[in-house]
A and B are shown apart, each in its own frame.
Chain A
Amino acid sequence: MSRKVNWPLTILLIICSLFILFPLYLTVVTAFKTPEEMGQSLLALPDRFHWQNFKEAARLTNFFHAFRNSALVTVFTVAFTLLTNSMVAYAIARNMHRKFFKTLYYYFVSAMFVPFPIIMLPVVKETSLLGLNNMPGLIFLYIVYGLAFNIFIYVGYIRSIPYSLEEAAHVDGAGTWKVFWKVIFPLLAPINATVGILTCLWAWNDFLLPLVILNNRDAMTLPLVQYVFQSQFTTNYNLAFASYLMALSPMIIVYLFAQKWIISGVTRGAVK
């Protein structure tokens, strides 16, 4: 059935989308203005683009350093999460008939119900005792805590892969390790994309874990930097918005190029 385009609904949705776009528009124009221009009109485009705001905000918050920290944390977390969590899930998925592995599955999955604030206080003691209150420690915790959710979606996916491929490889004399890396891991590409995207969004945007774990200013990630410098912005919101825009833009740029991919990846993770 080919229906006509529903224009009233289209227009209604466009109006709704303005609610999403308006704060972002405001962020961009404010980031480029001077305080004097703000006094004339909040919403108008700036007379000319004040790149000076960005320069100053970057200097004040040491933006490039924090950006480097966030990027390192995100890249290492995603890479090691994909390599390790998928392997653990494979071992569990292929042995669900064994009591031990079945127990492990429920052990990990039930941990999804434990909210972070519950373990927050003891974890902070533990990490500072073990010298993990730094960037490697943060990456390590993301990889370990990701297990609960990732095992859940990896196991579901791996169980839908037929055994026949592995059996064929076993007949050819390949061991379990080799079968996993050469046969199974490549087949996991779609679910690896989902786990990768979700882990990336989590590690990049997370605030609470870096807030409580990191005790060194040098290791601060982008959201944490905004928090720490918030008090210095209050008098100059052009500077604040320049800083926010810089902190948000890497993810927005990635999203512009990989939008379809990100949305379908997130959907696959949620529908599971």
Chain B
Amino acid sequence: MRKSSKVFYWMALPAVCLFFIFHTIPVIQGIIYSFTNYKGYGDYEFVGLKNYVNLFQDDRVFASYGFTFKFAIIATILVNVISLMIAMGLNAKIKFRNTLRGIFFIPNILSILIVGYIFNYIFAFFVPQIAEKAGVNSLTENILGNPDLAWIGIVIVAVWQAVAFNTILYLAGLQTIPADLYEAASLDGAGKWHSFCHITFPLIASFFTINMVLAMKNFLMVFDHIIALTGGGPGQATEAISILIYKGGFQGGEFAYQSANSVIYFAIIVIVSVFQIKVLQKREVNM
């Protein structure tokens, strides 16, 4: 037994070392840089908490957090509502189920960046042209060019893409519910809405938790969609946190400052995920 346990160490250790070097050390480095005035090149010195203090007085940073949360919350809710409805439809007695399921899953296999570029053209050229012909004046301009409306375009693309994955997950959850439960409920005279609230939803509660947490986490990290659609504009209207870190850190000479931003961002993502899991699991038990 001693010999075999040595082999186990050899199996795991190289990977652990590499993971430590390329994942954990960068995390630690990021935290250390966040206390310096490093620009990404040249000399630097420690400046204490200055970066953090500045972060809390930076309107651009506040705006990016505001945008990211607005986007993530709305997209998470829309994705979960739509994908639950589609999953219930696919789980019912319908024709062409496999074909339809196959179609609804397509967006999940496509590159978000390229999908974003396709929608970029749709918003910029197709929608305005169609709106003009149909006489809808409010849509004749590119919504991505309007600081007040650009975020809607990003939500549309994000939802279009993310519904695919969440639908499949909900469908897997719905298929675990035995059909005779519904029969018993309908014999008792329960309506559709009633059996949804009292049978379907409680039984897929754990899938609801996973979907909410994963969707929220992914949307808080939104990057590709924005690069493809607006690049953070117009102005800084759709500048998500990850975009700000990317731009400021690589192009703006704010390496240390954006490292501090990353640390805060990391803390927020952990807090949001843990909070969601706690709250949603409590509901699961109560139902």
Contact = CB atoms under 8 A, between A and B. Distances in A.
Interface of A: 1, 3-7, 9-10, 12-14, 16-17, 19-21, 23-24, 26-27, 30, 42, 84-85, 87-88, 90-92, 94-95, 101, 104, 107-108, 111, 113-126, 141, 144-145, 147-148, 170, 175-177, 180, 201, 204-205, 207-208, 212, 222-223, 226-227, 230, 237, 240-241, 244, 247-248, 251-252, 255, 259-260, 262-263, 266-267, 270-271
A111 B16 CA distance: 12
A117 B269 CA distance: 12
Nearest to B1: A170
Q: Looking at chain B, what size class is its interface with the partner chain?
A: 35 or more
Question: What are the 8 A-B residue pairs with the smallest beta carbon separation, nearest first?
Answer: A122-B26, A91-B11, A119-B26, A176-B7, A122-B29, A91-B12, A205-B111, A117-B242
Contacts of B273: 113
Nearest to B242: A117
B169 to A, nearest CB: 5
Interface string B9-42: 1011001101100111111011001000000100
Contacts of B259: 121-122
A178 B231 CA distance: 52
Contacts of A87: 11
B119 interface: yes
A270 B106 CA distance: 17
Interface stretch (B89-97, B141-149, B194-202): B89-97
Nearest to A18: B103
A121 B262 contact: yes
Interface in B150-208: 160, 164-165, 168-169, 171-172, 179, 183
A270 B125 CA distance: 37
Contact of A6 (B92, B126, B165, B168): B92
B210 interface: yes
